[in-house]
Amino acid sequence: MERYPRRHFLRQMGVGVGASAVASVPQLPGLTAPHVSKKLNVALCGLGRYAGYLAEGLAVSNYCQLAGLVSGTPAKLEQWQKRYTIAPKNCYSYQDFDNIATNKDIDVVYVVVPNGLHKDLTIRAAKAGKHVIVEKPMAVSVAECEAMIAACKAAGVQLAVGYRLHYEPYHQELKRLGQQKVFGQVRLIEVSLGYHLDGIPPTDWHLKKALSGGGPLMNLGVYCVQSSRYVLGEEPIAVTAQFGPVQHKDLYREVEESVTWQLEFPSGAIATSTSANNMSVDRFYAAADTGFFELSPAVSYGPFRGRTSAGELTFPDINQQAAQLDGIGQVLLANQPLPNHIAGVEGLKDLRVIEAIYQAARTGQRVRLTG
């Protein structure tokens, strides 16, 4: 059995994305609901494992539908084309991808390729006049994020980042509890995500820094950084960090196997996290002045379970990909700007923190964050 990041979570939690309920996305304030009969036509750029989960989400989305495919593997492109009945004129290789500019049947390109390729394909899609959704992490550096944002702005298209948890009801409740100080000021957050990456081949792109940008911090730690930031509603002002010992030296020659970090926030709150490829952990805990709230599982694909000092948390298990696509789709169909928490600026903020974590772990120094 393959044991890769996203598939591992689904196997470990015993649930597939398609088995969960479709979310009912709330209408955004001031937004005129688009007609459901009109859907955004989405082209998936990259046909790996996660693209399969997105295809399932697109199949049940109210505002988006799968209409195009982009892949560097002809056999895979043919297989997907037949499975999802995609018109041949809407299928592209990476070589002829720029021709998508003349295709009026494609509204959005969803970039689902290794992290190191996000920037190039996002900029090409923007220049082709297509809105872009890019998977997290947005890119492998702050500079790349800035270039992607600038390219989309210059082309007059919108750029979203695939932050599915912003549309997930348990995490919407975490944000409410933290930002509205339901239990007073949050003083401590502990959030970690890790799994045993058993049997991964040395050639896997997650182990190659040029393609991944780093190890589990890039792939998993971004969820921990995200939840710490949005539960507090603050930006960290400083970070300390430590790389963990390398247990599999034959694999982890270019990227870290595990890393632990501590974020300091203006309110005085501390967030401590670990992301790792050599342990199973999926937990969020927040201690506030008069109570606590927690999830476990917490930041994977669920099904999530949680409680607070006042009782259990109970929300429906949803199709997270469909919820995210509907949340983005209704904004684009209404021709309104994307909210900052899902736009490219949010991905840029995460990369600033991630770069600081790597710097702190390398140097052993406390790194201050600005901007």
| pLDDT at 37 (0 to 100) | 63
Percent of the residues in the chain that have a pLDDT greater than 70, as a whole number? 90
Polymer length of the chain: 371
Is it the case that residue 293 has pLDDT exceeding 60? yes
pLDDT in tens, 12-44: 333 333 334 444 444 444 444 444 568 999 999
Is it the case that residue 188 has pLDDT exceeding 70? yes
Is it the case that residue 218 has pLDDT exceeding 70? yes
Alpha-carbon 16 to chain mean position: 18
Is it the case that residue 4 has pLDDT exceeding 90? no
CATH number of 169-303+345-368: 3.30.360.10
pLDDT in tens, 160-173: 999 999 999 999 99
Alpha-carbon 164 to chain mean position: 6
pLDDT in tens, 173-187: 999 999 999 999 999
Percent of the residues in the chain that have a pLDDT greater than 90, as a whole number? 88
Q: For residue 230, which of 286, 268, 274 has the smallest C-alpha distance? A: 286
Is it the case that residue 204 has pLDDT exceeding 70? yes
Per the DSSP assignment, residues forming a β-bridge with 192 are: 283
CA–CA gap between residue 292 and residue 360 (Å, rounded): 29
Confidence of residue 370 (pLDDT cuts 50, 70, 90): confident
| pLDDT at 34 (0 to 100) | 47
Is it the case that residue 353 has pLDDT exceeding 70? yes
Fold of 14-164: Rossmann fold (3.40.50)
- The mean per-residue pLDDT over the stretch 120-140 comes to 98
| pLDDT at 36 (0 to 100) | 56
- The mean per-residue pLDDT over the stretch 329-354 comes to 97
pTM: 0.91
Domain with CATH 3.30.360.10 in the chain: 169-303+345-368
Q: What are phi and psi of 318, to 5 degrees?
A: -115, 165
- The mean per-residue pLDDT over the stretch 270-293 comes to 97
Domain with CATH 3.40.50.720 in the chain: 14-164
Q: Residues 63, 92, 195, 223: which is the catalytic one?
A: 223
- The mean per-residue pLDDT over the stretch 340-353 comes to 97
Q: Which element (helix H / strand E) includes 44?
A: strand 40-45
Is it the case that residue 50 has pLDDT exceeding 60? yes
- 136 counts as catalytic: yes
| pLDDT at 336 (0 to 100) | 97
- The mean per-residue pLDDT over the stretch 279-307 comes to 96
- The mean per-residue pLDDT over the stretch 59-82 comes to 97
CA distances from 85 to 8, 22, 45, 130 (A): 29, 23, 16, 22
Q: For residue 299, which of 140, 189, 134 has the smallest C-alpha distance? A: 189
Can you give the C-alpha Rg of the chain in angstroms?
20
Confidence of residue 371 (pLDDT cuts 50, 70, 90): low
Q: Residues 53, 136, 230, 301: which is the catalytic one?
A: 136
Is it the case that residue 11 has pLDDT exceeding 80? no
Decide the pairing of beta strands 292-295 and 40-45: unpaired
- The mean per-residue pLDDT over the stretch 305-333 comes to 97
- 82 counts as catalytic: no
pLDDT in tens, 225-251: 999 999 999 999 999 999 999 999 999
Is it the case that residue 132 has pLDDT exceeding 50? yes
Confidence of residue 53 (pLDDT cuts 50, 70, 90): very high
